[in-house]
Every structure is written in C-alpha cells, then in structure tokens.
Amino acid sequence: MSETPIVQVRHLQKQFGAGCPHCLDKESVYLEKNYCTSCGTVHAVRDVSFDLYPGEVLGIVGESGSGKSTMLQGLYFDGDMTAGEVYINQPGLAGHNVLTLSSQQKRYIRNNVYGMVYQNPVHGLKMNFSSIGNIAEKMIAAGNRHVGSMEKRGEELLKNVHIPLRRRKEEPQNFSGGMQQRVQIAKALSNNPPILFLDEVTTGLDLSVQASVLDLIKQIQRELQISMVVVSHDLAVIRMLADRSIVMLNGEIIENGLTDQILEDPQHEYTQQLVYSLL
C-alpha cells in the first residue's frame, strides 16, 4: 500500500547531560536503565523513529520515565531535542526537518498544524481566562481577528466537547478535571489541526469521565480524520483508541505493531510483563 505518512520521525534523541564515551554505546555497562553512572547523563529518548499515517491513532505505551512525554514535548517544540529529524507532510513543510526551523516557523506549526492536550490542564489552559477566551487565544495566535466568527467557532467546539454553553464565560479553574480536559481538547481542535498529540489525557480522571473523554477522542477521529499520537501508560486506553502502537522502555522503542497483536502476542520480555500486569 503506497501511503505517505503525515509525520515521519527519524532517530529522535534527547539527552540531559553532555554524554561521555561510555554511554554513547547503548549496551554500555555504565548505563543503569537510561542513566549513565559515569557522567550522569540521562538518555531520555534514544534513536526513536516512527511514522504517523493520515487519520490514524498511534498509541505509545511505556512505564513512567520511559521517554514518552519527553518525545511528545519534543515533537510539539516544548523542549529542544538533542538530535533527530521530523518531517511533516503538509503544504509548505514537506521535505524540511521541522526541528531545524526558526522559532517563528515552529510557532506557525504549533498554531496551525499541531494540537496538544497535556496530562495536566494547567499546561494547556490559562486557568483564569474564560473557557471561550482560552479557545479564542489559540485562534488569535493563528491569525484570526474576527470576534464574531471566533465566538461562533468557540461555542461550536464547547458544544462538541459537551461543555454547557451557559458556562462558556467561566474560568476553567472552576471546572472539574474532566471538564478542564474537555476544554483543553476543544482548544487544541480550534484551528482544525491535522495532527493532534494527547499526553495521558485520561490519567487521573474517574472512570465515567474517562469514558466520555475516550468517546470524544474516538468521535473526533471518526468525523474529522485527524491523525493522533496518544501517549498513555494505560494499556486499556491504548486498546480502545489505537490501531497501531509503540512500546517504549528506557527511551527506546522496544516493540511496535498492531495493538491487539502487542496485547495478545507480545514479543519483548518487557511487553510481556506489561501485559501480564493488566487488570
């Protein structure tokens, strides 16, 4: 099947520390998980490569500290990566390693091509702005100046994520965790981004709220055909959302495949442990 990925990630690398000859070798005895005992460098993301295809949900699973979030933050330009290449197949961007673009160009991508939903809504929302103001902020950042159209779009988005319109002027700090998460999703979707990153979006939410957020994400995928990267340590969440998944450990991809294959026929020792631990 000849299909062009919408995002191609190649040899992504992120280390905290300078590194030393000892820890450049992945098999080095100085490495304790992803920490170098010789120079103190943490190799948060090591040589990560993958493709994201149009309209698909790609799951990324792994334990805390496996590098999932660091990688996602790198893709969203929240933090600089040490090395690697990211290509986005969108008009005007094809063929450029977006990690090397100017900060102005990166801002354009963040505002128009990417959407991000953080685990902690504090990172994605201004808690003391109104909910609709939060959404408008993202649209203004993308160059929209028409108050009427922004208000209309904001209301439509809030309705889609099941926030009662009478509460649109309220600040997210008054909202429950699940509602905050839904405002965040509305904000992330405001400029119709073709690519959406979701970082542990259901973690810490009670089951019933989790179900409504999952349902919302699935609906967005079905109706808007947005490509998504869903990071979660919760295999059940990944099973519900993702067709394909990647398993990370100590900053590296140790296994990837169809999600049901990873859950029913895990190949790597760590993935097997993970699956045995499923409730």
Partner 1 sequence: MSILEVNGLGKAFTIHHLNKTIPAVDEIQFSINAGEFLGIMGKSGSGKSTILKSIYRTYLPDAGQIMYDSNQFGNIDLIQASEREIIFLRKNEIGYVSQFLNVMPRTTCRELVQNALLEMGETRETARIEAEKALTHFEMDSSLWNSYPNTFSGGEKLRLNIAMATVKKPRLLLLDEPTASLDQQSKWKVREIIEKLKEQGTTLVGIFHDIEFMEGLCDKVFDMKTNEMSVSLEGVTHEG
Give the interface with partner 1 as residue ranges (CB under 8 A). Answer: 1, 3, 53, 56, 207-208, 210-212, 214-215, 218, 222, 239-240, 243-244, 257-258, 260-261, 264-265, 267-269, 272-273
Q: What span, in angstroms and rounded, lies between the C-alpha atoms of 146 and 138?
A: 13
Q: What's the closest the beta carbon of residue 183 comes to partner 1, in angstroms?
A: 20
Phi, psi of 25 (to 5 degrees): -85, 125
Nearer to partner 1, 127 or 258 (CB): 258
Smallest distance, partner 1 to C-beta of residue 252, A: 17
The least distance separating partner 1 from the CB of residue 179, rounded to whole angstroms, comes to 16
In this complex, which beta carbon is closest to partner 1, that of residue 109 or of residue 274? 274
Work out how close the CB of 271 gets to partner 1 at its nearest, in angstroms, rounded to a whole number: 9
Q: Which is nearer to partner 1, 55 or 79 (CB)?
A: 55
- Residue 254 near residue 47, CB atoms below 8 Å: no
Bridge-based pairing state of the strands 31-32 and 35-36: antiparallel
Per-position b or e across 76-101, b if 16+ CB within 10 A of its CB: bbeeebbebbbbbbbeeeeeeebbeb
42 versus 57: smaller Cβ distance to partner 1? 57
Task: Indicate the residue among 134 and 256 with the shorter CB distance to partner 1.
Answer: 256
Residues 6+ away with beta carbon under 8 Å from 209: 176, 177, 178, 181, 202
Looking at beta carbons only, is 64 or 208 nearer to partner 1?
A: 208
Residue 59 contacts residue 41 (beta carbons within 8 Å)? no
Q: Is 29 exposed, middle or buried (0-12, 13-18, 19+ CB in 10 A)?
A: exposed
Nearest CB to partner 1, comparing residues 65 and 257: 257
CB of 60 to partner 1, least distance (A): 15
φ, ψ of residue 75 to 5 degrees: the values are -65, -35
Min dist. Cβ of residue 66 to partner 1 (A)? 18
Residue 59 · residue 235 · CB < 8 Å:
no
- Minimum gap (Å) between residue 96 Cβ and partner 1: 24
Query: Residue 249 and residue 269: Cα distance in Å, rounded?
Result: 11
